[in-house]
Chains A and B, each alone.
Chain A
Amino acid sequence: MNQRDLERLSEYLDGRLSPDEAIHLEARLSSDSELAAALQALRETRALLRQLPRRRSPRNFSLTPQMVSRRPPLPRFYPVLRLATAFATFLFLLVFLVRQVPFPVPAAMPMAEAGPAAPALMAATLEEQPSPEPPHTPKALAQELQENLTPATPIPEEDYSSLRIAAEPLSNVPQEAPLSLLLARGQILFGLLALLGAATMLIVRYTTARKWRA
């Protein structure tokens, strides 16, 4: 029995042969015991399969509105992207608001024009540290610097006076330029980052939805 005979027998079993083909095959079956046995084997196999017990489904497969509205699974990095975009947007708005209001700069705030004098920079650093105490004068700062940093080796009087000289010009420095420039640049940077993040989120959502539908 070849492959073609097998297919014919299977089709015959399913009643798919034309009347002429069926008559021809039945003539062969009556004279070919091997072919007849093969037909019987196929018939028994099909009957076994048809009589397999039907199982009841173990649970109800009804859909809930939540299941139906399910969205395509987004990539793992998506929440990070969303958070970063939200953070950039927040910073953009914050900088924007800060630029709208007059920004009082403390009198001793160091500027770029303050010069390279190291004691002045150190004094400014001390000034920037949050402290409940009232603002220090340059003299007080220098005094404090002396007490805190070099208690073991007192600074000579002439060094002390040079500190005061170097720090005094700070109160006369113009207050705007570098800070406002920095804020403007920050606003542009955060705005661009927020836009970039939002655009990436849209692209990720679109491509994921397309893949999901396919």
Chain B
Amino acid sequence: MNESHLIASAQRGDLNAFNTLVLHYQDMVFNAALRILGEEEAAADASQEAFLSAFQALPSYRGGSFKAWLLRIVTNACYDELRRRKRRPTAPLEPQTDQGDDLETTRWLTDSALTPDQQLEAQELEHAIQHCLDALPTDFRLVVVLADIEGLDYLEIAHALRLPIGTIKSRLARARLRLRECLQDFWELLPSAFRLRNEKNA
């Protein structure tokens, strides 16, 4: 049975059909949540919440990319989780100046505040990237995750986040630049072969 048939069945309340879609998309949804939230357990909870919301919202699905529609729902679930965290802050995610403004640079990540253990952990490519993603403002992180990790195009992201395409372009460009600045501090830790391969692919 193809995807559109499964969606139509699920819209009529067929839970088995919906669960077939869940099995197909659950890794994608979990990865998006993981990159946005940075924590596995929170990402799993947000994914579960997203699939439940998706099933309940299925009657409002009007075609188009089902993947983009699901990513929009998981993004909302992540937003809710981030709002909850903001109400119950445990540690500051972004450094602020004395005036309360966000610092423009992310170089604070590699200063002496990082313990040797954390530096060791950050040597791994995935940890380094996740570290830099976490340091991004939420609005930038959402755009870059949907564009460069989940592969949505500008229009799909604009639809998912309910923002104008111009805003998406601007945030994506600035998010990439900030990530680049942050990763610069880890660049020497990245495998040289990886860099060479990127350059060839470019």
Contact = CB atoms under 8 A, between A and B. Distances in A.
Contact of A7 (B47, B147, B170): B170
Given A6-B174, A61-B48, A43 B198 contact: yes
Interface string B112-156: 000000000000011001000000000000001001110100100
Interface stretch (A63-71, A157-165, A170-178): A63-71
Given A40-B202, A48-B183, A10 B173 contact: yes
B27 A57 contact: yes
Contacts of B15: 63, 65, 68
Contact of B179 (A16, A45, A68): A45
Contacts of A62: 19, 22-23
Interface residues of A, number: 36
Q: Is the interface of A mostly helix, strand, loop or mixed?
A: helix
Contacts of B199: 40, 44
A140 to B, nearest CB: 72
Nearest to A67: B52
Given A14-B154, A60-B23, A48 B51 contact: no
Given A45-B176, A49-B179, A60 B169 contact: no
B10 to A, nearest CB: 10
A61 B26 contact: yes
A142 interface: no
Given A7-B173, A42-B177, A48-B183, A54 B31 contact: yes
A70 B183 CA distance: 44
B86 interface: no
A9 B177 CA distance: 11
B158 interface: no
Interface of B: 15, 18-19, 22-23, 26-27, 29-31, 34-35, 40, 44, 47-48, 51-52, 55-56, 125-126, 129, 144, 147-149, 151, 154, 169-170, 172-174, 176-177, 179-180, 183, 190, 194-195, 198-199, 201-202
9 contacts: A3-B174, A16-B154, A45-B176, A48-B198, A54-B27, A57-B44, A60-B22, A60-B26, A63-B51
